[in-house]
A and B are shown apart, each in its own frame.
Chain A
Amino acid sequence: MNAHQTIYLDNNATTPMDPRVLETMLPYFVEKFGNAASRSHPYGWVAEEAVDYAREQVASLINADPKEIIFTSGATEADNLALKGVFEMYATKGNHIITCTTEHKAVLDSCKHIEKIGGQVTYLEVQPDGLIDLQELENAITDKTILIAIMYGNNEIGVVQPIRDISKIARKHGVLLFTDGTQAVGKIPVDVMADGIDLMAFSAHKMYGPKGVGALYVRRKNPRVKVTAQMDGGGHERGMRSGTLNVPGIVGFGKACELCKNEMEAEAKRLSTMRDRLEKGLLVLEEAYVNGNREHRLPHTANVSFKYVEGEGLMMGFNKNIALSSGSACTSASLEPSYVLKALGLGDDLAHSSLRFGLGRFTTEEEIDFTIQSVKDTVTKLREMSPLWEMFKEGIDLDKIEWSHH
Chain B
Amino acid sequence: MAYSEKVIDHYQHPKNVGTLDKSKTNVGTGLVGAPECGDVMRLQIEVDEVSGIIQDAKFKTFGCGSAIASSSLATEWLKGKTVDQALTIDNMDIVEELNLPPVKIHCSVLAEDAIKAAINDYRSKNGMPVLETEEKHH
Interface on A for B, CB 8 Å cutoff? Answer: 308-313, 316-317, 328, 330-331, 333, 335, 337, 347-349, 352, 384-390, 398, 403-406
Contact = CB atoms under 8 A, between A and B. Distances in A.
A347 B110 CA distance: 22
Contacts of B60: 385-387, 390
A403 B3 contact: no
B63 to A, nearest CB: 5
A403 B33 contact: yes
15 contacts: A310-B62, A310-B64, A311-B38, A312-B65, A313-B63, A313-B64, A335-B38, A337-B36, A352-B35, A384-B17, A386-B62, A387-B40, A403-B36, A404-B32, A404-B33
A406 B110 contact: yes
Interface string B1-31: 1010000100100100101000000000001
- Sorted from nearest, which 8 A-B pairs have the closest CB atoms? A348-B36, A403-B34, A349-B35, A406-B138, A387-B42, A312-B64, A387-B60, A316-B65
Interface residues of B, number: 34
Given A330-B38, A385-B61, A406 B106 contact: yes
B119 interface: no
A380 to B, nearest CB: 13
Residue of A328, A349, A390, A404 most packed against chain B (CB within 10 A): A404
Given A333-B103, A385-B68, A312 B38 contact: yes
Contacts of A388: 35, 40, 62
A386 B34 CA distance: 12
Contact of A308 (B1, B62, B110): B62
Given A308-B62, A310-B64, A387-B62, A398 B35 contact: yes
B78 interface: no
Interface of B: 1, 3, 8, 11, 14, 17, 19, 31-42, 59-65, 67-68, 103, 106, 109-110, 113, 138
B10 to A, nearest CB: 11
Given A347-B36, A352-B35, A352-B36, 13 more contacts: A310-B62, A310-B67, A313-B65, A316-B11, A337-B38, A349-B36, A352-B38, A386-B62, A388-B62, A389-B62, A403-B36, A405-B37, A406-B110
A127 B127 CA distance: 52
Contacts of A390: 19, 60
A259 to B, nearest CB: 34
Contacts of B42: 387
Given A310-B39, A403-B40, A387 B3 contact: no
A352 B62 CA distance: 11
A385 B17 contact: yes
Given A308-B62, A310-B38, A349-B35, A385 B67 contact: no
A404 B34 contact: yes
A403 B38 contact: no
Contact of B61 (A312, A331, A386, A404): A386
Determine which residue in B60, B64, B109, B110 has the highest number of CB atoms from chain A within 10 A of its CB, and name it.
B64
B5 to A, nearest CB: 13
- Chain B CB count within 10 A is highest, among A316, A333, A387, for A387
A387 B38 contact: no
A305 B63 CA distance: 14
A331 B65 CA distance: 11
B85 to A, nearest CB: 24
Contacts of B35: 347-349, 352, 388, 398, 403
